[in-house]
Amino acid sequence: MENGWSWEQKTLITEIIQGMELAKQLRAHLNTTSSVETRDMGGSTGQPQNAGFSAGVPESPISINGSPGSDGFDGSVKDNQGYNEASKKRKTTPRCADQVRVSTENGLEGQYDDGYSWRKYGQKDILGTKYPRSYYRCTHRNSQNCWATKQVQRSDEDPTVFEIKYRGTHNCAHGNQSIPSPEEQEKKQKNTNNNSQQQQSQQALF
DNA sequence: ACCATTTGACCGAG
DNA sequence: CTCGGTCAAATGGT
């Protein structure tokens, strides 16, 4: 019963945080003002949370290789087994997601770490966007029923900004105790969201 | 060996 | 048909 509470609170907090972040960014913009701005976050946007910037994927678009001889594919063994057809459709899946904008310092390197472990399960190019969108899911999905997922997409105009969308709730204890609550109930979430626009000030392109 | 990541294919909705 | 999202096999790294 009270379970929903946490989620609601979390959502609220998240929203507040979002607002703060936005305000921060806005402030930064205002601060610089004058002339070209272009993100000058040379320290202004003190990001509280991003401590770990690990440069990992420099993004090399050049995918070498290109699947060399792997001809093993050919249609032979593929075929999907209809595993899930259970029938009960989840009502189009509840889609409540929080959008958070993370600005990485001039360097694109750095993946913003929110404290949870994510496993990438897909990447797709979205029409209209210059960069592909990555899909992540909690590593404990099977272990703790954490069906939380995250989507990350780079801004087309500002490669320094990453748009992170969180979908679902975290049930995993990620590092803290092990699954103390065996409750696996799936709570229905209602959409209470109303945030519609969040557009940031579009910066003038050069 | 395991696990995270990569890539292609499949699927559902519009 | 197209677009977006997820899964599943293959691969690499530890």
What are the pLDDT digits (tens) for A134-148?
999 999 887 888 888
Which nucleotide has its C1' atom closest to residue A56's CA?
B5
A122 CB closer than 7 A to any strand C atom: yes
Largest CA distance in chain A: 62
- Measure the CA–CA gap between A32 and A100, rounded to whole angstroms: 22
DSSP, residue by residue, A53-108: ----------------S-TT-STTS---------S---TT----EEEEEEEPPSS-
Burial of residue A20 (CB within 10 Å: 0-12, 13-18, 19+) is exposed
Q: Could you tell me the residue range of the domain that residue A23 belongs to?
A: 1-32
A139 in a domain, yes or no? yes
Domain annotation covers residue A152: yes
Protein-to-nucleotide distance from the CA of A96 to the C1' of C6, whole angstroms: 17
Q: Residues A2-49: pLDDT tens digits?
A: 545 555 555 555 666 666 766 666 665 555 444 343 344 444 444 444
Residue A15 located in a structural domain: yes
Instruction: Output the pLDDT for position A173.
Output: 66
Instruction: Give the CA A125 to C1' C2 distance in Å.
Output: 13
A123 in a structural domain: yes
Residue nearest to nucleotide B10 (CA to C1'): A80
Identify whether A147 is part of a domain. Answer: yes
Q: How confident is the model at residue A124 (pLDDT cuts 50, 70, 90)?
A: very high
Q: Report yes or no on A165 lying in a domain.
A: yes
Eight-class DSSP state of A156: S
Residue A11 confidence (pLDDT) = 59
Protein-to-nucleotide distance from the CA of A32 to the C1' of C6, whole angstroms? 43
Q: How far apart are CA A158 and CA A130, in angstroms?
A: 11
Residue at the smallest CA–C1' distance to nucleotide C2: A127
Which residue type sits at A101? R
Domain tally, chain A: 2
CATH of the domain at A147: 2.20.25.80
C1' (C2) to CA (A135) span, angstroms: 20
Residue A163 lies in a domain: yes
The pLDDT > 70 percentage for chain A reads 32
pLDDT given for residue A174 in this prediction? 60
